[in-house]
Structure 1
């Protein structure tokens, strides 16, 4: 894998209670006003089995097999956008007289829904332009966690300094992201953009690939989820 220069853009996509992307309007969000995305493995070390004789001699031993439960994520971001918070926490947006979002409610932790999160990070040492169909825009390391649940906002301290927000959640396996609804990698030698060529397995929590397809541009509105597997549904 190449060297990571810096994180660039994040996109979140609403998924349903089965981990399927929700197609249609108001189901995606793209932003770049964040500080970091932490992805910490949650692992159960397993239980060792030991057979010890009365004289103290160990007759047999088997090391417990670690069980991978998923990733605990922690996103540190700065911009409070009700639409983004609605997608990742499931809590409702508050609207003004002109039907524009002006805030959000903190009500409950929604564990029967979720979201996918994608991160693009610029890389060093990747000569994307030299490859057939290479992109003049460069190359990125692309991270996908297709099913995150339990999205919850952390402490918010408002004072005379910057007030970053923290979002936590946990990945789940068994989702149905498949190839996804987005064009994220080259699908041919000409470098045309397309969805994932290999479906993400239902037991997987994260995919990491190098791509020459540029990340989406940040915006100030929901984005529709309409491509990829949505075209076949």
Structure 2
């Protein structure tokens, strides 16, 4: 698969991470959904300072362009589903429970800057080679991982006669303890055996985008568990 074409985004999974960017294991720390409009990953950089040597007669004797510093991605997630579980993981907003102990809403309080989450996105791939003759897979997907997003907050809301599209903003951070992750997202061999990432992201990296032949998880309307080898080792 040399030049895959991205068709459209399919599924997003979010996972709670702790104050050091490590996945938090447990039954109520993940959420999978597909009812979203778009995910923007806007580059945030410091352009650096140009250095210019100008003589008294006005001639430029030397010039060095400033080196930009990459700060990360400012994320904007536009979604439709107002799941309390999803909002709680991404923003730290307290969940409101019903008489049966199930989430029925959430409270908008102060911004929880110490909370964080990882975001994984799958997008369908169009390529004549995605279904090979060996029959070892069911297609291919572009897989994007932002392992540590902080400062999540819901933007302005206007509820009227048209569809409501809330927006959640956040900012990526480098480093963290995602490692190879707690999920099976990548083939480990020619038989398409599912497994975790083969290598962790570098300490100064904010995002990874790869092609995978492991299908995305199914969307739910409830928390999903975070388990796997990473959790067993922690």
TM norm structure 1: 0.97
Q: How does 1:40-55 map to 2 (within 5 A)?
A: 40-55=42-57
Large movers: runs of 4+ above 6 Å: none
The superposition leaves residues 21-71 of structure 1 with CA deviations (integer Å, 9 ceiling, x where unpaired) of 001110000000001101111011110001111001111111000110000
For residue 126 of structure 1, report the CA deviation from its aligned partner.
4.9
**SS of structure 1 residue aligned to 2:131:** helix
Question: Cα distance 1:52–1:131, how it changes in 2: closer, same or farther (>3 A)?
Answer: farther
Q: How does 1:171-186 map to 2 (within 5 A)?
A: 171-186=172-187
CA contact under 8 A between 1:133 and 1:189: conserved in structure 2?
no
> Given the alignment, which residue of 4, 7, 16 partners 1:14?
16
> Given the alignment, which residue of 6, 24, 27 partners 1:25?
27
Question: Cα distance 1:15–1:228, how it changes in 2: closer, same or farther (>3 A)?
Answer: same
In 2, distance between residues paired with 1:215 and 1:164? Answer: 24
Structure 1 residue runs of 5 or longer lacking an equivalent are: none
For residue 128 of structure 1, report the CA deviation from its aligned partner.
2.4
Name 1:230's counterpart in structure 2: 231
**SS of structure 2 residue aligned to 1:128:** coil
Structure 2 residue runs of 5 or longer lacking an equivalent are: none
In 2, distance between residues paired with 1:62 and 1:228? Answer: 49
> Given the alignment, which residue of 120, 124, 127 partners 1:118?
120
Aligned residues: 232
TM norm structure 2: 0.96
**SS of structure 2 residue aligned to 1:129:** coil
Name 1:39's counterpart in structure 2: 41
Question: Cα distance 1:39–1:55, how it changes in 2: closer, same or farther (>3 A)?
Answer: same
Does 2:89 match 1:87? yes
In 2, distance between residues paired with 1:125 and 1:83? Answer: 35
In 2, distance between residues paired with 1:40 and 1:123? Answer: 22
The superposition leaves residues 122-164 of structure 1 with CA deviations (integer Å, 9 ceiling, x where unpaired) of 01115222175631x2110000000000000011110111111
In 2, distance between residues paired with 1:142 and 1:126? Answer: 18
RMSD: 1.2
For residue 112 of structure 1, report the CA deviation from its aligned partner.
1.2
CA contact under 8 A between 1:179 and 1:228: conserved in structure 2?
no
The superposition leaves residues 151-199 of structure 1 with CA deviations (integer Å, 9 ceiling, x where unpaired) of 0001111011111110100000121111000100101111000000011
In 1, distance between residues paired with 2:192 and 2:6? Answer: 22
CA contact under 8 A between 1:145 and 1:171: conserved in structure 2?
yes
CA contact under 8 A between 1:123 and 1:140: conserved in structure 2?
yes
The superposition leaves residues 88-116 of structure 1 with CA deviations (integer Å, 9 ceiling, x where unpaired) of 00110001111111110111111112000
